[in-house]
């Protein structure tokens, strides 16, 4: 089944470029392209979407605010932030708003398509420099709040994999456990953290530094 992609960006040239790339590649369909996020919920209701490519800075509603609205009303839609800003504050704000992945606009077309597929299959792609900043953030200081959730060592390891963007299959391979066991651990993590989705779990892990160096 084709992956339906919507693009939100105020740069018309980039919108056209992404539209041409996506619509011209087998397995992908453009659901819609928009210059801003001011009517994001109307667009989401009207144009069935699997993955959203979301710019951060747009006139009116910011991409971070638009992402939060999408994830609140359409939790199954994956939002992939595509921006020129290599800024940790914006990265964390985007992830905390529910973004599933983050790429810089200078990312190659092939890598953008790869990221769309990855995020649609349960991954959470990030530009290497951004992923490094996220990991550095975790290494700086781990809050004792992790203990309050009573996460086991294995659950913290699985949660750390989710934060790094690993798919369930990758977690199973990395931790030498079955896919069923991965799902069991993730279900337990959701329950202990009082969240209902991967994006919520990742956001909470980042905000509260739950998966520092172990």
DSSP letter at 32 equals: E
DSSP reduced 3-state for 108:
coil
pTM: 0.64
In CATH terms, 141-208 corresponds, of 1.10.3720.10, 1.10.238.10, 1.10.10.10, 3.50.50.60, to: 1.10.10.10
Q: Quick one: CATH architecture of 3-133?
A: 3-Layer(aba) Sandwich (3.40)
Supply the pLDDT for residue 133.
Answer: 66
Supply the pLDDT for residue 101.
Answer: 83
Q: Give the percent of the chain with pLDDT over 90.
A: 38
pLDDT tens readout for residues 35-82:
999 999 999 999 999 999 999 888 888 888 899 889 888 989 999 988
Domain locations in the chain as residue ranges: 3-133, 141-208
Supply the pLDDT for residue 52.
Answer: 97
pLDDT tens readout for residues 137-161:
665 545 444 457 888 888 888 998 8
**CB 62, CB 37: distance < 8 Å:** yes
DSSP letter at 48 equals: -
How far, in Å, CA of 208 to CA of 183, rounded? 23
How far, in Å, CA of 86 to CA of 88, rounded? 7
Q: Tell me the pLDDT band of 130, cut-offs 50, 70 and 90.
A: low
Structure tokens given for 136: 């550095």
H or E element at residue 26? none
Exposed/middle/buried for 141, CB within 10 Å: 0-12, 13-18, 19+? exposed
């Amino acid at each position: 089944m084709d992956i339906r992609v919507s693009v939100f960006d105020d740069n018309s040239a980039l919108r056209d470029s992404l539209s041409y790339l996506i619509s011209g590649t087998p397995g992908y369909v453009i659901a819609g392209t928009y210059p801003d996020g001011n009517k994001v919920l109307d667009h989401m209701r009207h144009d069935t979407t699997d993955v959203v490519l979301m710019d951060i800075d747009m006139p009116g509603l910011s991409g971070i605010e638009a992402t939060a609205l999408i994830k609140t009303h359409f939790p199954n839609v994956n939002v992939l932030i595509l921006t020129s800003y290599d800024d940790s504050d914006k990265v964390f704000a985007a992830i905390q708003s529910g973004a599933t992945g983050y790429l810089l606009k200078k990312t190659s077309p092939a890598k953008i398509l790869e990221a769309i597929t990855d995020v649609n299959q349960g991954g959470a792609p990030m530009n290497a420099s951004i992923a490094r900043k996220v990991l550095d953030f975790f290494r700086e200081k781990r809050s004792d709040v992790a203990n309050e959730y009573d996460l086991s060592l294995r659950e913290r390891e699985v949660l750390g994999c989710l934060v790094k963007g690993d798919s369930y299959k990758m977690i199973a391979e990395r931790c030498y456990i079955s896919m069923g066991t991965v799902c069991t651990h993730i279900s337990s993590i959701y329950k202990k953290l009082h969240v209902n989705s991967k994006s919520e779990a990742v956001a909470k892990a980042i905000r509260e530094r739950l998966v520092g160096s172990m």
